[in-house]
Structure 1
Amino acid sequence: MCRDYLRPALLIFASIAIGVVGWSGHVLLLPVALGFPVLWSIARTRSVAALVSAGYFLAASRGLPQGVAAFYSSDIWPGLLLWLGASMSFVAVHSALWTKNSGARPRRYLLAAVIMSVPPFGITGWAHPVTAAGVLFPGWGWWGVGFMTAGLASLVTRIWPAVAIAVAGLWLWSAAIWTDTKLPEGWRGVDLELGASLGREAGLHRHRDIIATVRNAASDGARFVVLPETALGFWTPTVARLWTSASGDTDVTVIAGATVLDATGYDNVLVSIDRNGGSILYRERMPVPGSMWQPGRFLFGESGGARADFFANPVVAIGASRAAPVICYEELIVWPVLQSMLHDPDFIIAVGNGWWTEGTSIVAIQRAAATAWAKLFAKPLVIAFNT
């Protein structure tokens, strides 16, 4: 009887440890997440598979309750509810597709992996093990995605120990030759430490301070400067004129986060500004569910919330180059980056405003995920975050 409970308990504790370590925010630890499909496959019952899935997902997204409490300036209960609610789709998919039939298990797991990569379930498809492809197969591009897919399928078969040894070898080899991602020539990402005031304090003094920061970056030779999500606050004609005027005596192009508001809601965007004016460059495909994207409002005839463009504008043209932008939440899920890579952009732009994540590993995880995707496809990476 004791052994009947010991094995499931060990699997659950192991899944929690894998979620904590694999998603600690260190890019080279992402392959630890590949332990999850192994634990899922050796669970002997559907209920244990569900508990293993819950342990992994809740541990990987452990920063969410504290972050939500900070975002809403409330107690931790709303964050706990969102945390548990978001885990339901991950657990439901993996428990529904679990099977005792070892022959069918690889197909079932791959189906679960695909379902958690694309909408609607992919909207909360955080902590996806496929993200580790950038560590195991740097520079392999779509071949790396293919080999990672084959590896995930093999890890849920009886030969998983041999596959795990091969993965460990690739991991050690990659760690030994690992180099940081490169910036595109002439580009610079600017991190800010303005906390919750960024995007909310929109006075002239704040804009002038940020303009001065851009000028400092330009003085170092940058021709394109990237600022974090919502750096400009609301994008209005007045703000556009101010920044265009400030760009009048330089050759710098500024790529900055902003918010475009109208009567039905708002768009989280990146704008491009130079001496000739400013324009909307990119509209976020997947805003944060709950706090930003609120589809339930439309069911009750209400307006408001951020719009989700899902599969729109995967790449954007900036000068003679093509970039793949991802904003904040898009760095935690799978399809935005992979959709962009289908168009073979020249580089990736990853921005965020993570002031509300203080004390958690969320921003570090976003940076690690963006780095992993850039390494997988051998793309230069520009990162700009506010904390």
Structure 2
Amino acid sequence: MRREYIRSALLISCSMAIGVVGWSGYVTLLPVALAFPVLWSIARTRMIAALVSAGYFLAASRGLPQGVAAFYSSDFWPGFLFWLCASLSFVAVHTVLWTGTAGIRSFRYLLAAVIMAIPPFGITGWAHPVTAAGVLFPGWGWWGLGLMTVGLAGLVTRIWPAVAIALTGFWLWSAAIWTDPKLPEAWHGVDLELGVSLGRDTGLQRQRDMIATVRRAAGKGARFVVLPESALGFWTPTVERLWTGALADGDATVIAGAVVIDADGYDNVLVAIDRNGSRILYSERMPVPGSMWQPWRSWFGESGGARADFFANPIASIGASQAAPLICYEQLIVWPVLQSMLHDPDAILAIGNGWWTEGTSIVAIQRAATTAWAKLFAKPLVIAFNT
């Protein structure tokens, strides 16, 4: 009995360590998360499988309580409760589908992986081990994703040591030749350090500062300049006229985050602006649940909150090329990027406004995950974040 207790405690402790290290924000450490399926499979009871799942997920998403507290300017407890609630879907899926029968375990785990990759459970499908495919199989595209899927299935069978050795070999090979994704030619992503004021300071001086930033980038040869999420604040006719007028004497195209409001709520969008005018380039498919996306409001006849377009506009046409936009939260989950890759875009655009994540690894994790996907599909990557 004592031996079983120690074994279970070790499994749970290891799952937590895996969550911390694998999701530390370093892209080449993402394959550490592949140890989670092994621990899940060797759990001897459903309860231990549930605790292993909880330990992994809570450790991987450990920055959430502090981030939520900063976002709402509240104390630690609301963020802590939200952190626990967010883990429920991951833990529930892996607990229900756990089995002690070796013959069907790989099917059960793959089913859990698929469920956590697509809505509705995929809405909180953070820390998905399949994200490591880009580190193990850079440039392999859908074949690499397929091999990763086979590898995940193998890690929950009795031959998992052999599968783990093979995957480790790919990991070491990839780490030895690793290079970051390329930036598309004539593109420039602008990182800002404006904190909470970005998107909230909508004064004329802030807009002029943004325009000056774009002009500096264009002066260095950038044809397309990408600004972070919420960089333009509320998208109004006045703001549109200001920007199109500022760009009238140049060839640069600005792609920037903004918010479009109507009577029922708002859309978190990307806007493309050049000397000929502007257009809404992309509407966020999955805003942050809770703080932005609040579907329960409609149940009580209320309006407000960001709209989730789920499977809409997976790619955006920019000039003669197509890009896969990912706004903030979409970089942490699986289906938006895979849906976009089905259309074989020319590049990935990743923008965010992470002022509220100060002191956490959330932005680093977003960057690491997006980098891994870009490497898997051999796509150039443009990143623009505000911190």
Alignment TM-score > 0.5, same fold: yes
| Structure 2 CA distance for aligned equivalents of residues 384 and 378 of structure 1 | 19
Task: Output aligned runs, 1:362-381, within 5 Å.
Answer: 362-381=362-381
Q: Secondary structure at the match of 1:157?
A: coil
What's 2:78 paired with?
A: 78
The equivalent of 2:34 in structure 1 is 34
Paired amino acid for 1:46: R
Residues 143-199 of structure 1 show CA distances to partners (whole Å, capped at 9, x for unaligned) of 011000000000000000011111111110000000111011110100000000000
Partner letter of residue 371 of structure 1? T
- The aligned residue for residue 187 of structure 1 is 187
Distance 1:349 1:169 in 2: 31
Q: Which residue does the alignment assign to 1:326?
A: 326
What displacement does 1:279 show?
Answer: 1.1
Question: Which residue of structure 1 lines up, in the alignment, with residue 338 of structure 2?
Answer: 338
Name 1:244's counterpart in structure 2: 244
Amino acid in structure 2 at the alignment position of 1:377: F
Corresponding letter in the other structure for 2:30: L
Matches within 5 A, 1:301-312: 301-312=301-312
Post-superposition Cα deviations, 1:304-325, rounded to whole Å, max 9, x if no partner, equal 0000000000001000000000
Matched, 1:176 2:163: no
Between the two proteins, the alignment pairs up a number of residues equal to 387
Q: Distance in 2 between matches of 1:305 and 1:77?
A: 23
Look up the SS of the partner of 2:269 in the other structure.
Answer: strand
Structure 1 unmatched ranges of 5 or more: none
**Aligned match of 2:45:** 45
Moved over 4 A (4+): none
Is 1:2 aligned to residue 2 of structure 2? yes
For structure 2, list consecutive stretches of 5 or more residues without a partner in the other structure: none
Matches within 5 A, 1:256-271: 256-271=256-271
2:65 alignment counterpart: 65
* Whole-angstrom CA distance in 2 between matches of 1:96 and 1:134: 29
Match of 2:232 in 1: 232
Corresponding letter in the other structure for 1:367 = R
1:218 aligns with 2:218: yes
Q: Following the alignment from structure 1 to structure 2, what is the Cα–Cα distance between the partners of residues 179 and 365?
A: 18
Correspondence for 1:140 = 140
Aligned to 1:360, the other structure's residue is in SS state coil
**Aligned position for 1:101:** 101
Q: Secondary structure at the match of 1:312?
A: coil
1:127 aligns with 2:123: no
Partner of 1:114, secondary structure, is helix
Give the AA of the match of 1:259. V
User: Take 2:153 and 2:121, find their aligned partners in 1: how far apart are those partners?
Assistant: 20
Superposed, 1:266-281 pairs within 5 Å as: 266-281=266-281
SS at match of 1:103: helix
RMSD: 0.4
Cα distance in 1 for residues equivalent to 2:144 and 2:86: 29
Q: What is the aligned partner in structure 1 of residue 153 from structure 2?
A: 153
Structure 1 counterpart of 2:71, which letter?
F
**Equivalent position amino acid for 1:227 in 2:** L
Q: CA deviation at 1:2?
A: 1.4
Alignment-derived partner of residue 90 in structure 2: 90
1:278 to partner: Cα distance: 1.1
Structure-2-length-normalised TM-score: 1.00
Counterpart position of 1:16: 16
Q: In structure 1, what is the Cα distance between the partners aligned to 2:63 and 2:275?
A: 41
Q: Tell me the SS of whatever aligns to 1:57.
A: helix
Query: Does the alignment pair 1:316 with 2:306?
Result: no
Provide, for residues 86-109 of structure 1, a one-character-per-residue CA deviation record: whole Å limited to 9, x for no partner: 100000000000001001000000
1:117 corresponds to which residue? 117
Give, as a single letter, the amino acid of the residue that structure 2 aligns with 1:121.
F
Deviation at 1:128, TM superposition (A): 0.1
Q: Percent identity?
A: 81
Determine if the alignment matches structure 1 residue 357 to structure 2 residue 348. no
Deviations 1:282-338 (A, max 9, x none): 000000000000011011111000000000000010000000000000000000000
